[in-house]
Chains A and B, each alone.
Chain A
Amino acid sequence: MTAAAPAPGWSRLDRPGIAAWLLLGPCLLYLAAFAIYPLFYSLRLSFTDLSAASGTGRWVGLKNYHDLMFDPLFWTAAGNSAVMVTVSVALQIVLGTALAMFFNLHLRGSWIVRGILVLPMLITPIVVGVMWRALLNPDWGLVNWLIAGVGLEPPNWLGSIEMAMKTLILVDTWQWTPFVFIIVFARLQALPQDVFEAAQVDGAGRLVIFRHITLPLLMPAILFAAVFRAVDAFRSFDLIYGLSYGGPARSTTTLSFFSFQNGFQFQNYGYAAAVAYTMLLVLIVGTTVLLRYAPLRPGHAR
């Protein structure tokens, strides 16, 4: 293309003001009505005592938030969320990066396995939960049969308080490690090959190449995947609904599930909104910090 230099005058020619608002208007109005307004509604709700029982929606100021701070169940849920997000994201990042390196061998037929690995993350989380409840069933599940088959004592996956959170993380990892893998693998394929060749010529070992060349080059993709996974694990609710319903004894009740229980089961809308808003605050602070390191916005080709 001969016109490689940017054409500075083009936008003024086009009167961008009107055109932009014509194109953007519907989208902005729609999101204002069905995303921004509900968020403010939710905020207002969190300052009221609205529930199915009382139903008045009286303004109670910060009472819900105050109650939250002294609600041990809230802190249990917050702790569970923290454990689930950190452990499952860490696991998935390590495994997903390892998978990307493994598939970089380009074994024959590996595209079939790649296709298979895409499947779990597209499946309805509730069904993933049910599927794993069957696999891990203490009486007749396939997994325990296999474990007993090699002479080991199968754990009580979903029945014990100590084990349930680990099981939830395990299932989440089964479903979402491929996400990290796909993103890191895509980045790996796009890397220039000459760097690796040069390093090999210089006699660098494989481990050295991975540690000092591959890993730093993959870092943006890894961080990107980590942010996505952290947010989604934090929001995750359906998987828990299908797998453990927050139990046993609240050991898998995360903040999402805690808010759901208050809102849907107990119909304390005000309190549930306060929980959700606390989550939102954590999310905003968390992503703002993370986004400083992982750029999410597709860059403009300027």
Chain B
Amino acid sequence: MTRVLGRIAAYLVLVALGVVGIAPFLYLLVLSFKRRIEILTQVPPALTFDWATIERTYVEVLFRQGMLGFVGNSVIVVGAATVLALVIGTPAAYAFSRIRFRGDESLASSILSMRFMPPIAVAIPLFLMVKAIGLQDTYLGLILPYTAFALPLVVWIMIGFFDEIPREIDDAALVDGCTRVGVLLRVILPIARPGLVTAALFGAIFIWNEFLVALYVIDSRSHQTISLGAATLVSAQRPIDWNIAAAVGVVTVIPILIFSLLVQRYIVRGLTAGAVK
């Protein structure tokens, strides 16, 4: 009997955890479906919706406030920076995994420690640098620093994946007359594809949410990324229309929701990058 009761209690806890996790998102969704006045008067908001209101709010947010454009900007900037970080970071990770040289461990560690750098410590210099090379308020002005943000993460994740591929595979290819670079491109990379996916997804999420550097670098509304756009629309220092704010939140969450479905399989690898064995 106590076993059954314990079982029931455990399932109640499980459901409660699920609710605590998901309820804030659902609440945001419901708020975004309401009229401004309804949010203030209906507590809690009734679960009756009218299509015209929803359409008006989302048209306002997506087109007039430009959220759709912000999503597009983010896709361009994050996509380019992620690809660049993979192209630069993967060979380096391969070298760290395979080639021994003096100081390799401490060099790798110092690259990895850059993941811990407070953005606040580099935002101003990066902004002044970007401004000096005339890239203020351009995509490239964000892509360049963002690549540097994603790079340590990519290197970190890829080292973990390369370490798992037996060296004998490299050695066999080397004996067959392949060069190091040839081994990486033709033999190792195809095996390490899950690693590339993980590195790309986590690199992308890391910079998708970045906001401080964008705040400095981007001036014109038409170049804002999604996190910067969301921040300017709902920043805490001024009163806001809550239905609009909620819709902005929903639009920001949706791409990440899709991301998170993609990363489910890799989440532990991405978060720990093979560091916990």
A binding-site residues for B, Cβ under 8 Å = 1, 3, 7, 10-11, 13-14, 16-17, 19-20, 22-24, 26-28, 30-31, 33-35, 37-39, 41-42, 45, 99, 102, 105, 107, 109-110, 112-113, 115-120, 122-127, 129-135, 139-140, 142, 145, 174, 178-179, 182-183, 186-187, 190, 220-221, 224, 231, 234-235, 237-238, 241-245, 256, 259-260, 263-264, 269, 272-273, 276-277, 279-280, 283, 287, 295-301
Is B209 on the interface with A (CB-CB < 8 A)?
yes
CA A287 to CA B111, docked complex, whole Å: 14
User: Given A14, A179, A187, A220, which contacts B99 in the complex, CB threshold below 8 Å?
Assistant: A14
Say whether, besides A1-B168, A14-B99, A113-B14, A124 and B230 are in contact (CB < 8 Å).
yes
Contact A264–B148 (Cβ < 8 Å): no
CA A177 to CA B123, docked complex, whole Å: 28
The 8 closest A-B CB pairs, nearest first, are: A27-B92, A34-B148, A41-B125, A38-B125, A23-B95, A245-B236, A276-B121, A23-B91
Q: B215 — which chain A residues lie within 8 A by C-beta?
A: 264
CA A262 to CA B260, docked complex, whole Å: 35
Chain B residue nearest to A158 in the complex (CB) = B236
Say whether, besides A31-B114, A126-B231, A134 and B242 are in contact (CB < 8 Å).
yes
User: Given B99, B116, B227, which contacts A287 in the complex, CB threshold below 8 Å?
Assistant: B116
Contact B260–A119 (Cβ < 8 Å): yes
Chain B residue nearest to A296 in the complex (CB) = B275
Jot down 23 A-B pairs with beta carbons below 8 A, ordered by A. Answer: A7-B171, A19-B181, A27-B151, A27-B155, A30-B148, A39-B117, A42-B124, A102-B14, A107-B14, A124-B209, A126-B231, A127-B253, A134-B242, A142-B44, A183-B276, A190-B277, A221-B276, A238-B209, A245-B237, A260-B212, A276-B124, A298-B160, A301-B164
Say whether, besides A142-B44, A241-B236, A301-B163, A31 and B120 are in contact (CB < 8 Å).
no
| A-binding segment of B48-56, B58-66, B101-109 | B101-109
Is B273 on the interface with A (CB-CB < 8 A)?
yes
Contact A134–B277 (Cβ < 8 Å): no
Contact A241–B235 (Cβ < 8 Å): yes
Chain A residue nearest to B95 in the complex (CB) = A23
Q: A224 — which chain B residues lie within 8 A by C-beta?
A: 272, 275-276
Q: B273 — which chain A residues lie within 8 A by C-beta?
A: 298
Besides the known contacts A123-B253, A127-B230, 15 further A-B residue pairs in the complex with CB atoms under 8 A apart: A19-B179, A24-B91, A35-B148, A122-B263, A127-B252, A131-B24, A133-B236, A135-B24, A135-B27, A182-B268, A241-B236, A244-B236, A264-B216, A296-B112, A298-B275
Is B40 on the interface with A (CB-CB < 8 A)?
yes
CA A34 to CA B11, docked complex, whole Å: 50
Contact with A along B1-22 (1 / 0, CB 8 A): 0000000001101100110111
Q: A125 — which chain B residues lie within 8 A by C-beta?
A: 209, 211
**Cβ distance B96 to chain A, nearest Cβ, rounded Å:** 8
Secondary structure type dominating chain A contacts: helix
**Cβ distance A298 to chain B, nearest Cβ, rounded Å:** 4
User: Given A17, A35, A135, A298, which contacts B156 in the complex, CB threshold below 8 Å?
Assistant: A298
User: Given B27, B89, B113, B237, which contacts A27 in the complex, CB threshold below 8 Å?
Assistant: B89
Say whether, besides A124-B252, A238-B211, A132 and B116 are in contact (CB < 8 Å).
no
Is B118 on the interface with A (CB-CB < 8 A)?
yes
Say whether, besides A14-B180, A298-B156, A26 and B91 are in contact (CB < 8 Å).
yes
Q: B33 — which chain A residues lie within 8 A by C-beta?
A: none
Q: A186 — which chain B residues lie within 8 A by C-beta?
A: 268, 272, 276
Q: B276 — which chain A residues lie within 8 A by C-beta?
A: 183, 186-187, 220-221, 224
Is B257 on the interface with A (CB-CB < 8 A)?
yes
Q: A276 — which chain B residues lie within 8 A by C-beta?
A: 118, 120-121, 124
Chain A residue nearest to B273 in the complex (CB) = A298
Secondary structure type dominating chain B contacts: helix
| Residues 201 to 241 of chain B near chain A (Cβ within 8 Å) | 205, 208-209, 211-212, 215-216, 226-227, 230-231, 234-237
Contact B122–A35 (Cβ < 8 Å): yes
Contact B100–A24 (Cβ < 8 Å): no
Contact B92–A28 (Cβ < 8 Å): yes
Contact A279–B124 (Cβ < 8 Å): no
User: Given A126, A283, A300, which contacts B234 in the complex, CB threshold below 8 Å?
Assistant: A126
CA A42 to CA B167, docked complex, whole Å: 41
Chain B residue nearest to A17 in the complex (CB) = B101
Contact A113–B17 (Cβ < 8 Å): yes
Q: A277 — which chain B residues lie within 8 A by C-beta?
A: 121
Chain A residue nearest to B274 in the complex (CB) = A298
**Cβ distance B259 to chain A, nearest Cβ, rounded Å:** 6
**Cβ distance B89 to chain A, nearest Cβ, rounded Å:** 6
Is B256 on the interface with A (CB-CB < 8 A)?
yes
Contact B148–A31 (Cβ < 8 Å): yes
Say whether, besides A7-B171, A20-B95, A142-B27, A130 and B245 are in contact (CB < 8 Å).
yes
Taking each of B24, B41, B109, which has the highest tally of chain A beta carbons within 10 Å of its own beta carbon? B24
CA A256 to CA B273, docked complex, whole Å: 26
CA A22 to CA B185, docked complex, whole Å: 14
Contact B216–A109 (Cβ < 8 Å): no
Q: A118 — which chain B residues lie within 8 A by C-beta?
A: 260, 263-264, 267
